[in-house]
Structure 1
């Protein structure tokens, strides 16, 4: 893999982790949202990553490694942002405007502790990929200095 390929992989991972952090922030912001335009409480969102790398079978041809020869390299892409399948939480609050006839209100099943761990994980992955970009830039710069 060439140095610019490494930049592509790290750049795609940076984009993916940025979206993951945005989704986590949206989850935290809507932790108390009891009514959405679709009806019902907000549903926690999850980001699903997918590899851009060619399959193992596609990587081999008569000429050897075709994926590298064609410039196709791996990376990260967002496969989907999917809602959580949990039913949510119900709390007794008869004074709430969204309470049902029995006085219960449906809230999203969002744990701030879980969201903070997800946010810290996205932040750490973003930082590590940023470091990889910086190291690659330094290698490219060193390569250019050697050519002088």
Structure 2
């Protein structure tokens, strides 16, 4: 594997981790969102899946976003008859977002992003040293 391939692989990793951070941020922002209509469904947590994709020009596998989907887990319910989103029995459906899980996912995505950035920095430094030697 040459340095350009490592740069492309790391850049692809940074792209998908950036997308993952956007999805996680949306989940965190909607952790307390409820329906606008009585008895309606609140915000549903989004998930992201990745896949390997062959870049024929480079001849390497790159990671790409396969899809951004919805988490099918159940909503939690809280008794709050004064809430405008409450159903007839006084229960409000809450989003299926767990802030603790989202923060851990965010930390993992951030570390993966930083690891890919470090690979790019090291590869760039190696390329620069090679150019300096050729002068």
In structure 1, C-alpha distance between the alignment counterparts of 2:105 and 2:78, rounded to whole Å: 26
What are the ranges of 5 or more consecutive residues in structure 2 without an aligned counterpart? none
CA positional deviation for 1:120: 0.3
Match of 1:98 among 71, 74, 85: 85
1 CA distance for matches of 2:36 and 2:85?
11
1:41 aligns with 2:42: yes
Aligned match of 1:118 in 81, 105, 111? 105
Q: Detail structure 1 runs of 4+ shifted over 3 Å in the superposition.
A: none
SS at match of 2:61: coil
| 8 Å contact from structure 2 (residues 42, 95) kept in 1 | yes
Q: Is the 8 A contact 2:36 2:85 kept in 1?
A: no
2:28 corresponds in structure 1 to 28
SS class of match (2:66) = strand
Give the conservation status (yes or no) of the 8 Å contact 1:36–1:42.
Answer: no
Instruction: Tell me the TM-score normalized by structure 2.
Output: 0.91
The alignment covers a number of residue pairs equal to 133
State TM-score, norm by structure 1.
0.84
RMSD over equivalenced CA pairs, Å: 1.7
User: Structure 1, unaligned stretches of length 5 or more?
Assistant: 55-66
1:73 aligns with 2:60: yes
3-state DSSP of counterpart to 1:102: coil
User: Which residue does the alignment assign to 1:83?
Assistant: 70
